[in-house]
Amino acid sequence: MVFGQPSTKNYASITNATSSSVSEFTMCLFVRMKDTNFSSGQCLYSYATTGAPFGNAFYVCLFSPGIRISIHASGDDDTDARVKINDTMWHHICVTWKNTKGDWQFYLDGQLQSSGTGLKKNHQIPAGGTVVIGQDQDKVGGGFDIEDSFGPGEVTEVNLWSRVLSGDETAAQKANCDIAQAGLVLSWGQFKGKVTGVKIVEP
C-alpha cells in the first residue's frame, strides 16, 4: 500500500477482525517512511472495539519519532519501544504481547530490539473489533485525525497471529518473507481488498 501525504482518507480496514478475545498476539508488517522529519503522529496499525476508551483497544504508532505500543482498556497502558524507523529505508517490525505477565517484545528487521513486562497484565483484548492500517481510531472504524495519519510511505505484508512468534519465525519473515501459518488470524491478502485512498502495488 502506497500512502501519500497524511490524510484521513487513506487506510485499509477490516471489520469484525477477530472472532475470539485475544490473550496473546504477534503483529508484523513491512514499512517504509518517506518523511524523515515528521512532527505529528504516524499510526501504522490500530484495533478498536466499542468498549475501549477513545476507540482503540490496541495500536502501534510513531510519535516523533519513537514507536509506541498501546493497549487500551479502562485507562491506557502504553510503552515506548525506543525504536526509530524514519530513515526512508524499508523495515520489518513485529510486536508481540502476552497477557500472563504483560510481556511485550519489539523486533526490528528480524532482531529483538526492545522488550518489557507488565503491559496490561491479565487483560483480554475483546473480539469483534475493527483493524485499520494507516490511522488511529477515536471511534470504531472512524474518528480519524490527520495528526495520527500515516504518510507519506509504504506498508506491506501486514499479518496478525494469535500467539507469540519466536525470534526464528520473525527472522524468517524478514529474510525470506516466510509467513508462519500456525495461528495466523489476519493475513495480508485480506487487507489488500479493503483499501481506501491508498494505492496497491503488487511486488
Cell of 135: 490511522
Classify residue 19 as exposed, middle or buried by CB count within 10 Å of its CB (0-12, 13-18, 19+). exposed
**Selected binder of Ca ion within 136, 149, 155, 191 (CB under 5 A):** 136
Instruction: Output the smallest distance, CB 6 to Ca ion, in A.
Output: 12
Residue 148: which residues within 8 A CB-CB, separation 6 or more?
A: 40, 41, 42, 43, 61, 135, 136
Using the contact rule CB under 5 A, the part of the chain among 44-52, 69-77, 130-138, 181-189 near Ca ion is 130-138
Assess 109 for contact with Ca ion (CB under 5 A). Answer: no
Instruction: Output the smallest distance, CB 131 to Ca ion, in A.
Output: 16
x/- map, 148-187, Ca ion, by CB under 5 A: x---------------------------------------
Specify whether the CB–CB gap between 16 and 141 falls below 8 A: no
- Which is closer to Ca ion, CB of 136 or CB of 154? 136
Instruction: Output the smallest distance, CB 155 to Ca ion, in A.
Output: 18
Give the pairing of strands 184-186 and 103-108: unpaired
Closest listed residue to residue 175, CA positions, set 118, 131, 100, 111: 111
x/- map, 23-42, Ca ion, by CB under 5 A: --------------------
**Selected binder of Ca ion within 34, 145, 183, 194 (CB under 5 A):** 145
Secondary structure of residue 191 in the 3-state scheme: helix
Name 154's bridge partners: 2, 32
Using the contact rule CB under 5 A, the part of the chain among 32-40, 97-105, 133-141, 151-159 near Ca ion is 133-141
Rounded Cα distance between 102 and 177, Å, is 28
Which residues of this protein are in contact with Ca ion, per CB under 5 A?
Answer: 136, 138, 145, 148
